[in-house]
Structure 1
Amino acid sequence: MSEVRLTVEPRTEFGKGAARRTRRAGKVPAVLYGHGSDPKHLSLPAVEFARAIRENGHNAVLTLDVAGSNSELALTKTITTHPIKNYIEHVDLLLVQRGEKVTVNVPVVLTGEAGPGTLVTHEVTELSVEAEALHIPEQFEISIEGAEVGTQITASEIVLPRGVVLQTDEELLIVNVTEAPSEAEMAPELAEEEAAEGETTEAASEEG
């Protein structure tokens, strides 16, 4: 994972009104904390931060050039987005040091196509691992190419990069491949869904 440098500004105004003004100015309100230091309230450049997350994932490590202060190394810990408009509302950043190990959740991505007549259930989409702050994997890939009915993949079977230690239970089921249901088996469920949709439409008509 590459290191990203951002020029940020200290924030001196707080509250919802101040946060709205910060976002209107093209910046994202953020808080930097960790290592027993007092929290620092910052404004991040919205476009550059969004690009860093898009290119490096939600575990992006940032070098923050703070006006009037030394540079800080920070791990993106929590990103809060607006539930409807989907813009970034707030960011929590964790102060880290070079060589320090951190515990993070890393996405698990499936590749390939399972065998015919199968149903693939992706039971867990993230794994908790410990890694050096500047060497956090962007994702773990699991190939299900040609996987047959009965195939099960647990956390212990995922190949981890050197220096990365699994924190999740090794027996945790990540992928489960079962036999796909037949049309006859799906018929009762489809009939129930159609009946429910009909009731909803009828109720809406009556209210109208």
Structure 2
Amino acid sequence: MSEVKISAEPRTEFGKGGARRTRRAGKVPAVLYGHGEAPRHIALPAREFAAAIRHGGKNQIFNIEINGGGTALALPKAIQRDPIKDIYEHVDLLIVRRGEKVTVEVPVHLTGEAARDTLVMVESTTLAILADATKLPEFLEASIDGLEAGNHVTAGAIKLPAGAELAADPESIVAVISAAPTAEALEGEAAEAAVEPAAEAAEATPEPADA
């Protein structure tokens, strides 16, 4: 994954009020920390930050140029986003060094098609790996091509990029292949679902009182 250069300004206003004013100005409040350095409060351009995250995902590496304060390589550690307003409310940025290895959660994409008459149950959409902070993959691929019912894909079976190590349990399940229900089974379930409300209604109907 390539680095994204982004500018930043020191942030002098804090608290909810200061954060709101920062966002109204088209910027994202952020804090930059790590490697023993004192936390630095900065503001990132919202549009550029959002574009970088859309393209590279949450593990995008940023080369941050701070106005009047040098530069820093950083990885998003925590991102707060308002899904309704579709804005980023705050970002925690972890300072990293070139060649340094970090543990991150990487999305897993299933490839291929399982055998006919099967269902694919996804147990985990991400996988924890230890990799060079400047060479993090955007995603990992797990093949389910031709797998029959009863098979599964484990974390240890997924191929990792050169230099990366698995940080998750290699026996943890990523996807399970099961047999698809037959038409007869589906019809039986539908019939049972139709009978249950009628039976419940009959049980709930009071018996007539004796005259």
TM-score interval w.r.t. the shorter chain?
0.7 to 0.9
List aligned pairs for 1:18-29, cutoff 5 A: 18-29=18-29
Query: Which moves more between the two structures, 122-131 or 84-93?
Result: 84-93
C-alpha distance after superposition, 1:114-155 (max 9, x if no partner): 222111011011111100110011100112223211121101
Residue 82 of structure 1: how far off its partner (Å): 1.1
Residue 187 of structure 1: aligned partner:
190
Match of 1:203 in 2: none
Q: Structure 1 194/173 Cα, relative in aligned 2: closer, same or farther at 3 Å?
A: farther
Shift of 1:186: 4.0
SS in 2 for 1:51: helix
TM-score, normalised on structure 2? 0.87
Query: Across the two proteins, how many residue pairs are aligned to each other?
Result: 195
Matches within 5 A, 1:33-48: 33-48=33-48
Match runs of 1:105-184 below 5 Å: 105-182=105-182, 183-184=186-187
**One-letter amino acid matched to 2:88:** I
Partner AA of 1:85 in structure 2: K
Is 2:10 the partner of 1:10?
yes
**Pair 1:27–1:192, CA change in 2 (3 A):** farther
Deviates more, 1:179-188 or 1:96-105: 179-188
CA contact (8 A) 2:144 2:153 kept: no
User: Residue by residue, what CA displacement relative to the aligned partner does 1:87-124 show, whole Å, maximum 9, x if unpaired?
Assistant: 21111100011111111000111122222211101101
Q: Distance in 1 between matches of 2:60 and 2:174?
A: 24
Q: Which amino acid aligns with 2:171?
A: E
Partner of 1:80: 80
Structure 2: runs of 5+ lacking an equivalent? 199-211
2:58 aligned residue: 58
Deviation at 1:14, TM superposition (A): 0.6
| Structure 2 counterpart of 1:31 | 31
CA deviations over 1:148-188 (Å, ceiling 9, x no partner): 11121101100111110001001001110001123135426
Find the residue that maps to 2:55 and give its secondary structure.
helix
SS of the equivalent of 1:148 reads coil
Question: Aligned Cα RMSD in Å?
Answer: 2.0
Q: Which structure has the larger Rg?
A: 2
CA distance in 1, matches of 2:195, 2:108: 33
Q: 1:12 to 1:112 in 2, by over 3 A?
A: same
> What percentage of residue pairs aligned between the two structures are identical?
55
Q: Which moved more, 1:81-90 or 1:51-60?
A: 81-90
1:62-103 residue CA offsets vs partner (Å, 9 max, x unmatched): 000001111111011111111432321111100011111111
Structure 1 pair 4–139 and aligned structure 2 pair: CA distance change class (3 A): same
